[in-house]
Amino acid sequence: MSGSPRRRLRDAEAVSPFMVAILGLCLTILFVPLVIIIFLSFNASPYGTFPFESTLKWYVALFTTSNLLGPTLLSLEISALVALNAALFGTMAAVWLDRRASRFGGGLFRIGLLSAITVPWLILGLAMLLVMNAIGLGRSLVSIYLGLLATTLPYVVFIVVARLRSLDHDLDHAARSLGARPFTSFLRITAPLLLPSIVSGTLIAFMVSFNNFLIQYFLAPFGVQTLPLKIYTLIRVGYLPDLNALATIIVLVTCLLIAILHRLGLRSAGLPGGATP
Amino acid sequence: MNDPADGLRIGAVRKNFSAMEVLRDITLHVPQGEFHTLLGPSGSGKTTLLKIVAGFTPADGGEVALAGRRITDEPPEHRNIGVVFQHYALFPHMTVAENIAFGLRMRRAPKGERLERVAEVLRLVRMTGYDHRRPASLSGGQQQRVALARALVIRPELLLLDEPLSALDRKVRLEVREELRRIQAETGVTTVMVTHDQEEALSLADRVLVLESGSVRQQGAPADIYRNPVDEFVAGFLGAINLLKVVMDGEFLRIGAQRLALSTGQIGAAPAACSGAMHLAVRPEQVLAELGHCESPAGCVNGRLIATVFGGPIVTLRVDVEGQEVSVLALSPDVLSSDSWRPGAPVQLRIRQARLLPATGLAP
């Protein structure tokens, strides 16, 4: 082996057994609970005990006797509204940021958006509650809407801006010189080319909004329960496997969304994990 | 020709980017149907001027008029100007036919007319049959033809070309260049092209306008500018040129110890400020080289051959004249048929045509 070149750390081959082990551990920690929940949702025992006896009764219970459906629908409605509005305002903000913003104004806006991602939601939620109280909204559905919108907007803006950056500005110039007004040019040329990244941003905004326990916890009016809040309550008092059934459905829907995101080419949106074009 | 309704008129256009003066009082007139070129190095402001004419960038002062209509403050969509971009800027989500029809759609042309005019302009750029292809499946040359078709189909009053050939390979570039010339002649559309390539400018345009640091250095017919550059910058930018330090000595020019007699027909009128340091600007192809000596003072100077550089049909001779190096072009057979063209051989140079320019040191 005297003549062989020394292996360096940056050679993927040299570190691969270690990396594979860590990766395996992470994926195990991530997926084993999911598999267990899916498994238990088909188990007849209400306490997760064996022997395994397959049943669909928890799925039936979920749609009949359980009180999970109301919070789920509320969460879906709020998240859909927030995601669609984040898509609209986020795209507008992205276009402004890319085409019109001054260096100072754009930079300030960027920092604001980044802080909505980087500042812990615990602190953000608390701060929002203080502000909502101060302006008289208090804990309300409007407050939840505003809070979730603020936390999801950055995802849309950053994904759409990344795509806008890669678009040739001469496309807009060409359309204008051919007789298109600015709005027509945006609608006919820019928007179709942005569409994959707008959809990506909307789906991510939906998931972030759906998951955001902290913001919902701080801003939900008393008595109104979104799904994360409902689950939080149930875990403290003990729950039936109908929750497992709901979790299974959510996992499947999420997988579907991820497949859609993948098809839209997240790579072109500047995020890791996208399909290679 | 002096009808103000004629072609494109630019009057005293100025532009600053923060503290930088990008364009300084640019005035020019492109008569109806002519092909003009804005030639300059990068940073000379030529693309900015094009963008001001197209309406993509506002001017800080001055006027732009097209066919007698003042368009200075008009948005691009009201100017009726076709623009071809360096990187084609075809709409990637539309087919070739949809790209070309876009301008007609914006003008609300009925479908029948749209189809007819798209087919007609595709014939013009020799791209018939590519209607349903996507831009990404076309070569660079084909994309630029489609871009040209898209700009022409709206029957613009002015065609702007922004470095249209510089993204293409050399062979395709020559091909598209010839197409450009043919199409411009066929349509008779008033055309302004921006380029940094002097060969492109000289071969295509009726008139060339040389820009440098935001000012017009010279404008005129290509051959005229090439032969009679007003200063060293223009002389050097339009092609290889020898700048020989000379001193006025009565009716002669002195190069080192040698005296050279040139008629005014050969060097034109001497510039007004001919008292200071002067350069004799001579194109390499305007010098005839022969082996041997000539008697001074005469229409020729003596030098020694430094080297010959073979370049296919032509050979570049590097000749030392009184410590200054002169490049001379000669036809290969004339030089290679003889063994006498060796380094150190005495050479006499006969200058056919030259210009006297004030020595400014501005040559690019």
ipTM of the complex: 0.83
pLDDT attached to residue B1: 43
CA atoms within 13 A on the CB side of A45: 10
Strand, helix or coil for residue B255: strand
Q: Rounded CA gap, B217 and B135, in Å?
A: 39
Closest in B56, B75, B106 to A178, CB measured:
B106
Angle at B236 between CA B232 and CA B237, to 5 degrees: 115
Angle at A262 between CA A258 and CA A263, to 5 degrees: 120
B95, B157 Cβ separation under 8 angstroms: no
Cα of first residue to Cα of last residue in chain B, in angstroms, is: 35
Higher pLDDT, B150 or A68: B150
The answer to whether residue B151 neighbours chain A at the CB level (below 8 Å) is yes
Of A38-42, A194-198, B248-252, B303-307, which range is least confident? B248-252
pLDDT attached to residue A117: 85
Residues 6+ apart with CB under 8 A from B236: B243, B363, B364
Task: Answer whether residue A171 shows pLDDT above 80.
Answer: yes
Residue carrying the six token digits 């510089």: B166
B300, B294 Cβ separation under 8 angstroms: yes
pLDDT attached to residue B111: 92
**Maximum mean pLDDT: which of A62-66, A163-167, B115-119, B326-330:** B115-119
Residues 6+ apart with CB under 8 A from B38: B46, B49, B50, B192, B193, B194, B195, B209, B211
pLDDT attached to residue B331: 87
The dihedral sign for the CA sequence B236, B240, B245, B247: negative
Cβ contact A174–B81 (<8 Å): no
Percent of chain A with pLDDT over 70: 89
Higher pLDDT, A101 or B341: B341
Q: At what angle do helices A103-118 and A141-166 cross, to 10 degrees?
A: 120
**What phi, psi does B81 have (nearest 5°)?**
-120, 130
Residues 6+ apart with CB under 8 A from B51: B57
B15, B57 Cβ separation under 8 angstroms: yes
Structure tokens at B93: 């989500």
Residues 6+ apart with CB under 8 A from B214: B15, B21, B22, B23, B24, B26, B44, B45
| Residue type at position A247 | A
Cβ contact B89–A168 (<8 Å): yes
Cβ contact B151–A181 (<8 Å): no
Mean pLDDT of B68-96: 92
pTM assigned to the model: 0.78
Strand, helix or coil for residue B221: coil
Distances (CA, A) of A169 to A57, A187, B91: 58, 15, 11
Residues 6+ apart with CB under 8 A from B274: B248, B356, B358
CB atoms under 10 Å from CB of A150, counted, come to 17
> Which helix (DSSP H) or strand (DSSP E) does residue B26 occupy?
strand B20-30
Residues 6+ apart with CB under 8 A from A102: none
pLDDT attached to residue A270: 40
pLDDT attached to residue B270: 60
CB atoms under 10 Å from CB of B105, counted, come to 16
pLDDT attached to residue B276: 65
Q: Are strands B215-220 and B69-70 parallel, antiparallel or unpaired?
A: unpaired
The answer to whether residue B150 neighbours chain A at the CB level (below 8 Å) is yes
Q: Rounded CA gap, A61 and A80, in Å?
A: 26
State the nearest Cα–Cα gap between B359 and chain A, in angstroms.
42
pLDDT attached to residue B340: 83
pLDDT attached to residue A79: 93
Q: pLDDT-based confidence at B77, cuts 50/70/90?
A: very high
pLDDT attached to residue B258: 83
Q: pLDDT-based confidence at B2, cuts 50/70/90?
A: very low
pLDDT attached to residue A269: 42
State the nearest Cα–Cα gap between A264 and chain B, in angstroms.
15
What's chain A's average pLDDT? 83
Best mutation target among B77, B88, B117 (most A Cβ atoms within 10 Å) is B77
pLDDT attached to residue A277: 33
What's chain B's average pLDDT? 87
Residues 6+ apart with CB under 8 A from A260: A199, A203
pLDDT attached to residue A267: 46
Cβ contact B91–A174 (<8 Å): yes
Mean pLDDT of A130-151: 89
**CB burial string A195-211: b at 16+ within 10 A, e below:** ebbbbbbbbbbbbbbbe
A132, A140 Cβ separation under 8 angstroms: yes
Best mutation target among A102, A167, A176, A178 (most B Cβ atoms within 10 Å) is A178
pLDDT (tens digit, 9 = 90+) per residue, B192-218?
999 998 888 888 889 999 998 888 889
Strand, helix or coil for residue B67: coil
Mean pLDDT of A202-219: 89
**Maximum mean pLDDT: which of A154-158, A210-214, B238-242:** A154-158
> Which helix (DSSP H) or strand (DSSP E) does residue A237 occupy?
helix A227-237
pLDDT (tens digit, 9 = 90+) per residue, B172-198?
888 889 889 999 999 999 999 999 988
Cβ contact B91–A175 (<8 Å): yes
**Maximum mean pLDDT: which of A18-22, A58-62, A85-89:** A85-89
Q: Which positions in chain B touch A189 (Cβ < 8 Å)?
A: 91
pLDDT (tens digit, 9 = 90+) per residue, B345-358?
888 888 888 888 88
| Residue type at position A137 | L
Task: Answer whether residue A14 shows pLDDT above 80.
Answer: no
State the nearest Cα–Cα gap between B106 and chain A, in angstroms.
6
Closest in B83, B87, B107 to A177, CB measured:
B83
Closest in A177, A184, A188 to B76, CB measured:
A177
Residue carrying the six token digits 């907007």: A153
pLDDT attached to residue B364: 56
pLDDT attached to residue A8: 52
pLDDT (tens digit, 9 = 90+) per residue, A216-263?
888 888 888 888 888 888 888 877 778 888 888 888 888 888 888 777
Task: Answer whether residue B160 shows pLDDT above 60.
Answer: yes
State the nearest Cα–Cα gap between A195 and chain B, in angstroms.
11
Question: Within chain A, what is the greatest distance between any pair of CA atoms?
Answer: 77
Closest in B85, B87, B154 to A179, CB measured:
B154
Cβ contact A193–B54 (<8 Å): no
Q: pLDDT-based confidence at A272, cuts 50/70/90?
A: very low
Task: Answer whether residue B117 shows pLDDT above 90.
Answer: yes
